[in-house]
Every structure is written in C-alpha cells, then in structure tokens.
C-alpha cells in the first residue's frame, strides 16, 4: 500500500533522490564589480541532499548498479573516497537500504567522520601519509579478496560518474545561463565533474572555453582535488579535454574562502574557493582583453565540513604582510 502510494503519480512531497541536482546558479557579483562585462556564477552544489556535488555521481553509480543487479540484498557497496562521495554513498545506503563500506585516509576532517557515523557507514581507515591513493589501493585489495561480499563502485573508473554531469550539470548550466556561458571552470578530483560537463557543453557550443584546476603541489590542503602529475590518474580522466589548466596554491583558496564569507555572505568549501579563485583569474584576463564573459564554476560544497580548520582564524599571507607594514609605520611614527 505504502509503496504503491509512493510510486503513484499522486505521491505527496519529494523523495530524497529527487533532490539530487537542479542546484541554484549563484551570482558572485561583488567579486567582479571592478571588471566590466564579466560575470562569475557558481553552481551551489551544497543544495544537494548530501551537501555536495558528489551526490550526482554517487546516485548515478548506485542507480546503474541496481539496474544491473550488482547490488542485491546483503551486498556491500565499497569504494575509496576522500569524503564527499563517501557521504553521498552513506546517505543513499541509509535511504535505499544497502550497507556501505568506505576506505578513506584517517585525516579527513572530524566533521566528515561525524556525518559518516550519523549515516551508519562502516569505515576502513588508511594512512594519511598515503593520501587518497592509499584509500584506492585498500579498496582494490578488499574488492579483489572478497568479490562476492562487495560491489566495488570504483568512482575513479566508473563512467556513470562523468555521465551524471554530462546529462545533469551541463544541461542545467546551459539552461540557467540561457546558453550565454562562455567559460567553464572546475577542479579535478576523480575528474568526473569536469569531464562530463565539458563534453556536453562542447556539444552545445564548441566555442565554450573549459578550464580545469588542480592543486599546484602533491602536498596541499585542497580536499577532494588531485595533483594529477603525481597521483594515481583516474581512468576516467582525459588530459587532452581541457582548453587549459590552472595550478592553484592552497593559500589562495584559503584567502578566497574568507573573502567569499566576508564579502559575498557565502561560506563555501576549500575546493569551491579554489575554483572561484581560478575563475577570477579568467575574469581578469577577459576584462583586460576587453571581452565580455559569462564564467560558470562549480561550488562543490559549503564550508560546514571545514569550519574546524585553522586558516579561518589565522591571518592570510596578504593580511600578515599588511600587518607587518602597519606595525612598521606605527613604530616609525613613535620613533
Ligand atoms: C570537495 C570536493 N571538491 C571537488 C571534488 C572533485 O570532483 P570530481 O571528483 O568530480 O572531480 C570532490 C570530489 O570528491 C570533492 O569532494
């Protein structure tokens, strides 16, 4: 009775899964007010029910596995994740009734650990020194040892990851900008967001410039992103797809996190701030060249999971340099 009611067209309310995707496109007006003819817009991916862009890939991966009968009752969904995909799987597992085991580095933020625990996921912790690659190796090992126990979702090599963005994110952006998008900017983790969105946007208008962004070093604070030159390269990643790539220092992302909070009223995650910093580089170049531009980027998640990071209360390099100048001037006036 209940399920037939839920399945009928007359069902009331929204299912959790229907809330994945169709996120708002937020104008970051104050960032570009000094640049004429240029706009930056961000997809507010924290509006997804699990709080991040990864709900899109995870729900596409799970839906495909269920269609193919790869997740029969009792079978455990297994994957490696730096956090957000794990949260998405854990939410879906809780909502749809399948168990979830995640391999992840033990230095993920305490907020993520609390969220995963709240959804009831089982975690296999890996060494922080091995980063997300250590988690990938562990997931591969478990899947190889017990293939009957686990469905290895393999977000790094699963085509449903990028297809979620090909069919979803890209078409949403096209519609929300009325086809006016000129540039697309996104960070690379599994690369699913960039690959899928870029492929579809190029079909819709081959002139759209698609720019990838990644950390400028293997040791970085851009959670969720990969330094491709030194990481296990995801099988779904095609390095030839981007028109260009921007290498992002962690410090710039931290500074942008604080700036977006204080001047836009937007508390975004670190990779989102990095994507905005890269978009601002493009915006400045376009304005300097006298070209109009509609730059769209992906705000992967909100600041909620990163609020315990120290950078929020520490001065940025820019602020520290200004403080040093101020105190030198003060000392000079007193002398
Ligand atoms: C916070 C955050 N930003 C960016 C990404 C990268 O997205 P993608 O895996 O689609 O490249 C992830 C992926 O886990 C993430 O968690």
Say if residues 92 and 69 touch (Cβ distance below 8 Å): no
The answer for residues whose C-beta is within 8 angstroms of residue 74's C-beta and 6 or more apart is: 99
Is the beta carbon of 275 within 6 A of some atom in ligand 1? no
* E strand or H helix at 23: none
* Percent of the chain residues past pLDDT 70, beyond the cut: 92
The predicted structure's pLDDT at residue 82: 72
The residue whose CA is least distant from atom 14 of ligand 1 is 224
Convert the pLDDT of each residue in 83-139 to its tens digit.
Answer: 899 999 999 999 999 999 999 999 888 888 999 999 999 999 999 988 888 999 999
Average confidence (pLDDT) over 164-179: 98
Is the beta carbon of 301 within 6 A of some atom in ligand 1? yes
The predicted structure's pLDDT at residue 326: 67
Domain 13-48+165-312 has CATH 3.60.90.10: no
Is the beta carbon of 83 within 6 A of some atom in ligand 1? yes
Question: Which pLDDT band holds residue 323 (cuts at 50, 70, 90)?
Answer: low
Centroid of ligand 1 to alpha carbon of 38 (angstroms): 26
Average confidence (pLDDT) over 250-257: 97
Q: Which residues are bridge partners to 101 per DSSP?
A: 78, 122
Give the closest residue to 21 by CA, choosing from 160, 165, 154, 175.
165
Say if residues 86 and 116 touch (Cβ distance below 8 Å): yes
Structure tokens at 19: 């809330």
Task: Say whether pLDDT at 329 is over 80.
Answer: no
The residue whose CA is least distant from atom 5 of ligand 1 is 224
The predicted structure's pLDDT at residue 3: 44
Centroid of ligand 1 to alpha carbon of 251 (angstroms): 18
Centroid of ligand 1 to alpha carbon of 12 (angstroms): 33
The predicted structure's pLDDT at residue 133: 87
Q: Out of 271, 279, 302, 305, which one is annotated catalytic?
A: 271
The residue whose CA is least distant from atom 1 of ligand 1 is 224
SS3 (DSSP) at 152: strand
Ligand 1 pocket test, pick from 23, 105, 193, 277 with the greatest ligand atom count within 8 Å of Cβ, gives: 193
Task: Say whether pLDDT at 9 is over 70.
Answer: no
Centroid of ligand 1 to alpha carbon of 300 (angstroms): 7
Question: Which pLDDT band holds residue 4 (cuts at 50, 70, 90)?
Answer: very low
The predicted structure's pLDDT at residue 72: 95
Average confidence (pLDDT) over 195-202: 98
User: Is 54 a catalytic site residue?
Assistant: yes
Centroid of ligand 1 to alpha carbon of 193 (angstroms): 8
Average confidence (pLDDT) over 177-184: 98
The residue whose CA is least distant from atom 6 of ligand 1 is 189
The predicted structure's pLDDT at residue 5: 43
The predicted structure's pLDDT at residue 335: 58
Is the beta carbon of 105 within 6 A of some atom in ligand 1? no
Centroid of ligand 1 to alpha carbon of 290 (angstroms): 33
Helix segments in the chain, DSSP class H:
2-7, 54-67, 84-96, 110-119, 131-145, 159-164, 170-176, 192-204, 250-264, 270-288, 317-334
Question: Which pLDDT band holds residue 176 (cuts at 50, 70, 90)?
Answer: very high
* Matching residue, tokens 């963005």: 165
Give the full edge-to-edge strand order of the sheet including 150-152: 122-126, 100-105, 76-80, 150-152
d(CA 114, CA 102): 14
CA geometry: angle 56, 111, 136, nearest 5 deg: 55
Q: Out of 54, 163, 258, 305, which one is annotated catalytic?
A: 54
CA of 85, closest atom in ligand 1: 14
The residue whose CA is least distant from atom 2 of ligand 1 is 224
Specify the pairing of strand 183-187 against strand 150-152: unpaired
Mean pLDDT, the chain, integer: 93
d(CA 28, CA 335): 45
Centroid of ligand 1 to alpha carbon of 231 (angstroms): 15
**Are domains 13-48+165-312 and 54-152 of this chain identical in fold?**
yes
Domain boundaries, the chain: 13-48+165-312, 54-152
The residue whose CA is least distant from atom 3 of ligand 1 is 224
Convert the pLDDT of each residue in 260-317 to its tens digit.
Answer: 999 999 999 999 999 999 999 999 999 999 999 999 999 999 999 999 899 999 887 6
Instruction: Please provide residue 43's backbone torsions phi and psi, each rounded to the nearest 5 degrees.
Output: -75, 120
Task: Say whether pLDDT at 334 is over 70.
Answer: no
CA of 192, closest atom in ligand 1: 10
The predicted structure's pLDDT at residue 330: 64
Question: Which pLDDT band holds residue 7 (cuts at 50, 70, 90)?
Answer: low
The CATH architecture annotation of domain 54-152 reads 3-Layer(aba) Sandwich (3.40)
Is the beta carbon of 188 within 6 A of some atom in ligand 1? yes
């Amino acid at each position: 009775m209940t399920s037939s009611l839920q399945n009928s067209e007359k069902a009331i309310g929204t299912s959790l899964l229907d809330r994945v995707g169709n996120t708002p496109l937020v104008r970051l007006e104050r960032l570009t007010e000094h640049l004429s003819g240029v706009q930056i817009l961000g997809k507010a991916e924290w509006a997804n029910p699990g709080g991040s862009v990864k709900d899109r890939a995870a729900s596409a991966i799970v839906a495909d596995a269920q269609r193919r009968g790869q997740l029969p009752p009792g079978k455990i969904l297994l994957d490696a994740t730096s956090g957000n995909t794990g949260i998405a799987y854990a939410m879906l597992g809780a909502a749809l009734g399948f168990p979830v085991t995640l391999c992840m580095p033990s230095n993920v933020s305490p907020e993520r650990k609390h969220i995963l625990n709240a959804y009831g996921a089982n975690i296999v912790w890996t060494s922080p020194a091995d980063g997300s690659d250590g988690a990938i190796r562990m997931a591969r090992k478990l899947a190889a040892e017990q293939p009957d126990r686990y469905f290895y979702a393999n977000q790094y090599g699963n085509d449903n990851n990028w297809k979620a963005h090909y069919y979803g994110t890209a078409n949403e952006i096209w519609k929300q900008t009325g086809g006016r998008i000129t540039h697309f900017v996104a960070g690379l983790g599994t690369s699913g967001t960039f690959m899928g969105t870029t492929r579809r946007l190029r079909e819709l208008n081959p002139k759209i410039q698609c720019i990838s962004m990644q950390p400028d070093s293997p040791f970085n604070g851009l959670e969720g992103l990969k330094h491709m030159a030194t990481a296990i390269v995801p099988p779904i990643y095609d390095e030839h797809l981007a028109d260009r790539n921007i290498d992002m220092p962690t410090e710039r992302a931290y500074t942008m996190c604080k700036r977006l909070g204080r001047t836009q009223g937007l508390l975004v995650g670190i990779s989102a701030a990095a994507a905005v910093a890269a978009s601002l580089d493009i915006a400045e170049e376009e304005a300097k060249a006298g070209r109009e531009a509609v730059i769209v980027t992906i705000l992967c998640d909100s600041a909620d999971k990163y609020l315990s990071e120290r950078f929020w209360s520490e001065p940025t390099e820019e602020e520290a340099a200004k403080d040093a100048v101020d105190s030198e001037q003060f000392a000079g006036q007193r002398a």
